[in-house]
């Protein structure tokens, strides 16, 4: 009877003890919340990858660590899992977050040694500890709380989830958090490529990352690594042969600093993603950097210190290489990004002026007058000059662009309608540095008086390379953007043909210039005032390359032009692209036709023409071939082409080219394109009530007035004697001057406003602010080709 009572009492005591224990083991943990930090995504440090997936640079996270993007359980190799379990928690998959056997063993060992020599924390407990405030004191109460949190985590998450989170969050020292970052940082290889020896070495580090630093204390790390390999063998995660191979493997450690490749490109590729795959092709980037350094070394005595390069894949808009300076680590100005800093492009904008001209009815054979010219502006007269201060008389559009003549470019822009035409085109091409109205830049815009970024101008040239299709540039791999057609493919092809024509640029560049490429390639150079900036840009159907050379302090170079500065860099980079990837040339659009022309007058040369000695082949949009040359166009005795009296003084002085092939004749038809002198395009006129008829007569003046016919679709044109006037009425009006012989036109757009009241006049003219933006006085820039 007494024995039965004793059994009952014993059972009751056991139950009374088991219930609280069960409550503590299964219920009490839910009274303690998990660390908030554990439930939040680990702040990853951004890593920038090249197009092939290799790392360019890894930045530090907000916590000052190199933390990789989290990897999933399936991405973690078994070698890392087994090495980590052998080192930290071999019974991980059998305990419930607290390893009671390990606790008993630790208590025994520590009591026998009378000091702490052994721990019993599990991977789950370490994960909790790593997710709590590290500044908090390690009191007994904190340890109990962490144990309860570990139990709750075990009942909430799966074992694989806990282990994965641990491997993503644990510190491996040297600022590496997570096994992926450690694999890259210590061995510079993907996690999946780690050997057993490398995995065991990484698994040895979390115990004491500061003490077990393989770069400083390799022997201690190797000792622990081999212990882990022994434990892996003991737990049958490794066979004897594999263990011996791991023992004998020579480990090659890398001192990883996050990488610093393509620094300016990385700085321009910032996103919120943890892994940013850029479009940079490492081999092209490295080659461009090497070429810049080598070529600038040859210009050291010319006060040339910096260069920048952009290479674009025309098909995608991807930037394959972007070099912002010669040496990023130069303390003086290496961090300045020359690909992004705006600079004056010089003549590099002329192709767009002539492309617009082709779309306004001109052809590559159109004759443009290269004679002294001046334009009235809001702040005075603007007199453009050619770089060599010479004048070439009547030149074709092909010759003017090929030889980068300034005066024809300015004249062409003015006759198309003024700077607003080019201004709007550049805006549509993605140029973002035109911060002022078009009037601020004036006609000098075509010869580069507005600062432009290299990356944006290179992408504008990529639009030419796509024969008129615009696509945004990008440094980050994204889905291909939609293209927008800005220009017809046929006229874009004509511009490309001119820029690829070495014969067209012989006068300025000679037969063997640095920009004569050994394969078809459109090329244009540009040099700003006083040699402060020089450029070379060009393209094939596959690639567009832009190069800028200069000094970041804006001091002039010593007579270094686009040919001698940026040209050699451009040439070597494009030859590398051609040899490595191959380049092609365009199929001619079917809407183009060919004809022979006389470059002296732009006339078509046929079998019936009186002379063919100067004929050249030219490309035309179908339907735009000029009239055929006749005997009336030439002097009978010499065969010299007749030109108008407009060129009389030029011919007397003697032209640098072809003056011996022209003749003057009083009655020769004047085929020159007219130019309107008054009214200046986009001028606003106010009718004046104090004048007779409100001062509504506007005098019309133009060059070639003897052959000009004045018309306007909205205004009455009258003549008083030999002088023509437009009778003004309020509104916007177009005034045209047409050469009756050649039918070439020039036009001015004006606006006429009603008379101002006294109050309006006082308000307008008493104000310190002008009614409309005043055009800044254009610089008399002498742009180098």
Angle at 46 between CA 43 and CA 48, to 5 degrees: 160
**Can you tell me the mean pLDDT for 370-378?**
81
Q: Is residue 650 very low, low, confident or very high in pLDDT (cuts 50, 70, 90)? A: confident
The values of phi and psi at residue 545, to 5°, are -125, 135
Q: What percent of the chain has pLDDT over 90?
A: 57
Cβ(238)–Cβ(203) below 8 Å: no
State yes or no: pLDDT of 519 exceeds 80.
yes
Number of Cβ atoms within 10 Å of the Cβ of 542: 16
Give residue-wise pLDDT tens across range 593-633.
999 999 999 999 988 787 667 789 999 999 999 999 988 88
Q: Is residue 111 very low, low, confident or very high in pLDDT (cuts 50, 70, 90)? A: low
Could you tell me how far CA 780 lies from the centroid of its own chain?
A: 31
Distance CA 613, CA 29 (A): 101
**Can you tell me the mean pLDDT for 472-493?**
92
Tokens coding 423: 């201004």
Picking from 184, 472, 183, the residue whose alpha carbon sits closest to that of residue 314 is: 472
Q: Higher model confidence: residue 59 or residue 5? A: 59
State yes or no: pLDDT of 369 exceeds 70.
yes
Query: What's residue 552's pLDDT?
Result: 96
**Range from 62-66, 76-80, 135-139 carrying the lowest mean pLDDT:** 135-139
**Range from 602-606, 677-681, 779-783 carrying the lowest mean pLDDT:** 779-783
Burial of 669 (0-12, 13-18, 19+ CB in 10 A): middle
Give residue-wise pLDDT tens across range 298-312.
998 999 999 999 999
Give residue-wise pLDDT tens across range 16-48.
555 565 556 666 777 888 888 888 888 778 889
Q: Is residue 114 very low, low, confident or very high in pLDDT (cuts 50, 70, 90)? A: low
State yes or no: pLDDT of 561 exceeds 70.
yes
Non-local (6+) Cβ contacts of 179 within 8 A are 71, 76, 80, 167, 168, 170, 172, 191, 202
State yes or no: pLDDT of 53 exceeds 80.
yes
Question: What are the C-alpha distances in Å from 195 to residues 179, 237, 493?
Answer: 14, 14, 56
What count of residues does the chain have? 785
Could you tell me how far CA 68 lies from the centroid of its own chain?
A: 27
State yes or no: pLDDT of 772 exceeds 50.
no
Cβ(599)–Cβ(396) below 8 Å: yes
Q: Higher model confidence: residue 13 or residue 591? A: 591
Is 663 in a helix, a strand, or coil?
A: strand
Give residue-wise pLDDT tens across range 390-415.
999 999 999 999 999 999 999 999 98
Give residue-wise pLDDT tens across range 235-286.
999 999 999 999 999 999 987 767 789 999 999 997 778 889 999 999 999 9
Query: What's residue 778's pLDDT?
Result: 35
- Give the full edge-to-edge strand order of the sheet including 731-739: 684-686, 745-753, 731-739, 708-711
Question: What are the C-alpha distances in Å from 113 to residues 103, 116, 494?
Answer: 15, 7, 90
Question: Hunting for tokens 């070529």 — which residue is that?
Answer: 295
**Can you tell me the mean pLDDT for 406-435?**
95
Number of Cβ atoms within 10 Å of the Cβ of 722: 7
Tokens coding 427: 């805006």
Query: What's residue 779's pLDDT?
Result: 37
* pTM score: 0.76
Question: What are the C-alpha distances in Å from 785 to residues 93, 502, 545?
Answer: 75, 14, 18
Non-local (6+) Cβ contacts of 194 within 8 A are 77, 79, 80, 183, 187, 202
Tokens coding 496: 């490309």
Burial of 208 (0-12, 13-18, 19+ CB in 10 A): middle
**Range from 68-72, 114-118, 166-170, 537-541 carrying the lowest mean pLDDT:** 114-118
Query: What's residue 18's pLDDT?
Result: 53
DSSP string, 381-444: EE----TTS---EEEEHHHHHHTT-HHHHHHHHHHHT-HHHHHHHHHHTT-----S-HHHHGGG
Number of Cβ atoms within 10 Å of the Cβ of 33: 10
Q: Is residue 678 very low, low, confident or very high in pLDDT (cuts 50, 70, 90)? A: confident
State yes or no: pLDDT of 770 exceeds 60.
no
**Range from 123-137, 323-337, 617-631 carrying the lowest mean pLDDT:** 123-137
Picking from 435, 356, 442, the residue whose alpha carbon sits closest to that of residue 401 is: 356
Could you tell me how far CA 540 lies from the centroid of its own chain?
A: 18
The values of phi and psi at residue 16, to 5°, are -65, -30
Q: What percent of the chain has pLDDT over 70?
A: 87
Average pLDDT, the chain: 87
Question: What are the C-alpha distances in Å from 83 to residues 154, 199, 202, 243, 285?
Answer: 21, 6, 8, 12, 39
Query: What's residue 267's pLDDT?
Result: 92
**Range from 138-147, 320-329, 531-540 carrying the lowest mean pLDDT:** 138-147
Cβ density class 144-177: b for 16+ within 10 Å, e for less: ebbbbbbbbbbeebebeebbbbbbbbbbbbbbbb
Cβ(392)–Cβ(371) below 8 Å: no
């Amino acid at each position: 009877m007494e024995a039965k009572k004793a059994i009952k009492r014993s059972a009751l005591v056991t139950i009374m003890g088991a219930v609280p224990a069960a409550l503590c083991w299964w219920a009490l943990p839910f009274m303690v919340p998990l660390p908030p930090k554990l439930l939040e995504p680990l702040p990853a440090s951004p890593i920038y990858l090249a197009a092939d997936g290799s790392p360019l640079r890894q930045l530090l996270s907000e916590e000052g660590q190199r933390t990789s993007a989290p990897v999933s359980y399936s991405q973690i190799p078994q070698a890392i899992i087994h090495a980590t379990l052998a080192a930290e928690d071999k019974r991980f998959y059998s305990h419930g977050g607290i390893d009671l056997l390990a606790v008993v063993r630790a208590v025994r060992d520590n009591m026998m040694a009378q000091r702490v020599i052994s721990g019993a924390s599990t991977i789950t407990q370490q994960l909790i500890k790593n997710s709590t405030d590290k500044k908090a004191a390690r009191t007994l109460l904190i340890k109990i709380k962490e144990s309860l949190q570990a139990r709750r985590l075990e009942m909430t998450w799966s074992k694989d989830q806990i282990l994965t989170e641990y491997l993503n969050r644990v510190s491996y020292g040297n600022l590496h958090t997570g096994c992926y970052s450690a694999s890259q940082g210590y061995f510079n290889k993907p996690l999946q490529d780690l050997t057993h020896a490398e995995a065991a070495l990484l698994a040895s580090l979390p115990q004491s990352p500061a003490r077990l630093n393989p770069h400083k204390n390799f022997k201690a790390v190797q000792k622990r690594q081999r212990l882990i390999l022994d434990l892996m063998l003991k737990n049958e995660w490794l066979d004897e042969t594999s263990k011996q191979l791991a023992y004998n493997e020579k480990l090659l450690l890398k001192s990883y600093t996050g990488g610093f490749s393509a620094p300016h490109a990385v700085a321009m590729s910032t996103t919120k993603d943890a892994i940013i795959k850029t479009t940079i092709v490492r081999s092209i980037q490295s080659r461009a950097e090497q070429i810049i350094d080598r070529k600038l070394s040859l210009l050291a005595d010319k006060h040339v210190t910096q260069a920048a390069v952009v290479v674009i894949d025309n098909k995608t808009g991807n930037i394959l290489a972007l070099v912002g300076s010669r040496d990023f680590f130069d303390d003086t100005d290496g961090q300045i990004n020359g690909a992004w800093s705006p600079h004056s492009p010089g003549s590099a904008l002329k192709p767009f002026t002539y492309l617009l001209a082709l779309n306004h009815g001109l052809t590559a054979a159109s004759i443009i007058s290269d004679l002294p010219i001046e334009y009235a502006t809001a702040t005075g007269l603007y007199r453009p000059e050619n770089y060599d201060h010479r004048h070439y008389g009547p030149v074709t559009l092909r010759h003017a662009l090929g030889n980068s003549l300034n005066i024809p470019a300015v004249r062409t822009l003015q006759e198309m309608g003024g700077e607003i035409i080019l201004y709007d085109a550049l805006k549509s091409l993605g140029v973002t540095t035109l911060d002022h109205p078009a009037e601020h830049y004036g006609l000098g815009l075509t010869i580069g008086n507005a600062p432009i970024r290299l990356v944006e101008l290179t992408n504008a040239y990529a639009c030419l390379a796509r024969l008129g299709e615009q696509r945004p540039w990008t440094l980050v791999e994204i889905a291909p953007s939609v293209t927008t057609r800005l220009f017809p493919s046929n006229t874009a092809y004509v511009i490309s043909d001119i820029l690829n024509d070495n014969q067209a640029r012989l006068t300025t560049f000679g037969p063997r210039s640095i920009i004569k490429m050994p394969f078809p390639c459109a090329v244009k150079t540009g040099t700003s005032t006083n040699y402060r900036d020089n450029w070379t840009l060009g393209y094939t159907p596959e690639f567009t390359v832009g190069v800028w050379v200069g000094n970041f302090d804006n001091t002039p170079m010593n007579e270094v032009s686009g040919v001698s500065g940026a040209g050699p860099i451009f040439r070597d980079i494009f030859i590398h692209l051609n040899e490595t990837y191959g380049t092609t040339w365009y199929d001619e659009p079917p809407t183009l036709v060919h004809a022979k022309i006389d470059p002296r007058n732009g006339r078509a040369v046929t079998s019936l023409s009186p002379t063919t000695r100067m004929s050249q082949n030219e490309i035309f949009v179908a339907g735009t071939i000029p009239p055929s040359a006749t005997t009336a166009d030439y002097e009978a005795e010499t065969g010299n082409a007749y030109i108008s009296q407009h060129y009389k003084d030029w011919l007397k002085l003697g032209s640098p080219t072809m003056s011996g092939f022209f003749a003057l004749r009083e009655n020769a038809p004047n085929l020159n394109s007219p130019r309107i002198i008054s009214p200046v395009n986009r001028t606003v006129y106010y009718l004046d009530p104090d004048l007779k008829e409100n001062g509504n007569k506007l005098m019309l003046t133009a060059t070639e007035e003897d052959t000009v016919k004045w018309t306007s679709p909205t205004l009455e044109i009258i003549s008083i004697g030999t002088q023509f006037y437009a009778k003004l009425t309020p509104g916007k009006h177009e005034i045209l001057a047409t050469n009756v012989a050649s039918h070439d036109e020039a036009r001015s757009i004006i606006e006429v406003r009603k008379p101002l009241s006294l109050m309006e006049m006082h308000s307008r003219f008493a104000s310190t602010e002008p009614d409309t933006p005043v055009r800044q006085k254009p610089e008399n820039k002498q742009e180098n080709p």
